[in-house]
Amino acid sequence: MKWYHAADGQAVGPVGEEDIQSLVKAKKIKAETLVWHSGMSDWQAYGDLKKDNFHIRPKATDITDTDAESLCSECGNSFSQEEMIRYGNSYVCADCKPAFVQKLKEGILPEDILKYAGFRIRSCAKFLDGFIITGGTVLLAAVFGIISSSGSGGSYVFQKILPYMQPVSMVIVIIYETWFVGRFGATPGKMICRIKVVTADGGRVSYLRAFGRYFATFLSGIILCIGYIMAAFDGQKRALHDRICSTRVIRK
């Protein structure tokens, strides 16, 4: 196919397809440079033409070589991953990049772009929460201990309360998990680690879902915590309780 391209108001050509490629590389032909080849009704900017024609490539499933292809999250066309920029789990092609970066600046994030929090940071948050809850419970027990040792009246209170300590601390944990996740999307441990629980589409988690999610963590905890470890091997880094409750943990 013979091409013509505009240079200083003149039509230059005919040149071959390969010449066009090298002219593009040499920046002699830019996105706004007008080009024409037989079969085209009119001259067109090279960038626009590229968008219309060149983006139509075989789908990733048709490719048998190792060159991995992905769909651009903006225009939906297929490209080699090497030519694209990666953002979270999404790829954006070179042509869509400027508009995409602009969107990022304006804070308009596409829904499917969530930065999933990995197994390690989540374990770290879990550890911190455990530390906070245990610390709180010990403090509470110490307060009752002081009350009980400061007179017979206190001892009576302590004896009355002691049998309830176990269920009370259980209730504290449930309230801790449900209220913090429902209200802020994160427990204090998660806040420190700058991670957050969201719905599959990145939305807010309701109190009810947070409540259910807490109980679903029991399932993740049984059999050597396999349900938790699942997060390390999942594409969206979901633990078992995330799958059950349709939640994701993301980095803020």
Does residue 75 bind Zn ion (CB under 5 A)?
yes
Specify whether the backbone of 245 is left (phi greater than 0), alpha (psi in -120 to 50) or beta.
Answer: alpha
Q: Which residue has the tokens 């009246």?
A: 153
Binding track, positions 4-43, relative to Zn ion; x by CB under 5 A? ----------------------------------------
Q: Where does this chain touch Zn ion (CB under 5 A) — which range of 39-47, 96-104, 143-151, 170-178? A: 96-104
Q: Where does this chain touch Zn ion (CB under 5 A) — which range of 87-95, 100-108, 143-151, 156-164? A: 87-95
CA–CA separation, 118 and 251 (whole Å): 9
Q: Which is nearer to Zn ion, 67 or 83 (CB)?
A: 83
Q: How far is CA 87 from CA 74, 104, 203, in A?
A: 12, 10, 19
Does residue 74 bind Zn ion (CB under 5 A)?
yes
CA–CA separation, 230 and 119 (whole Å): 9
Q: Which is nearer to Zn ion, 28 or 55 (CB)?
A: 55
By CB under 5 A, name the one of 20, 49, 96, 240 that touches Zn ion: 96
Does residue 93 bind Zn ion (CB under 5 A)?
yes
Q: Which is nearer to Zn ion, 80 or 199 (CB)?
A: 80
Q: Which is nearer to Zn ion, 90 or 187 (CB)?
A: 90
Q: Which is nearer to Zn ion, 19 or 48 (CB)?
A: 48
Least separation in angstroms between residue 95's CB and Zn ion is: 5
Least Cα distance to 93 among 77, 113, 112 occurs for: 77
Q: Which is nearer to Zn ion, 19 or 74 (CB)?
A: 74
CA–CA separation, 244 and 158 (whole Å): 40
Does residue 48 bind Zn ion (CB under 5 A)?
no
Least separation in angstroms between residue 83's CB and Zn ion is: 10
Least separation in angstroms between residue 135's CB and Zn ion is: 50
Does residue 72 bind Zn ion (CB under 5 A)?
yes
Q: Where does this chain touch Zn ion (CB under 5 A) — which range of 5-13, 28-36, 70-78, 204-212? A: 70-78
Which spans of this chain sit near Zn ion (rule: CB under 5 A)? Answer: 72, 74-75, 93, 96
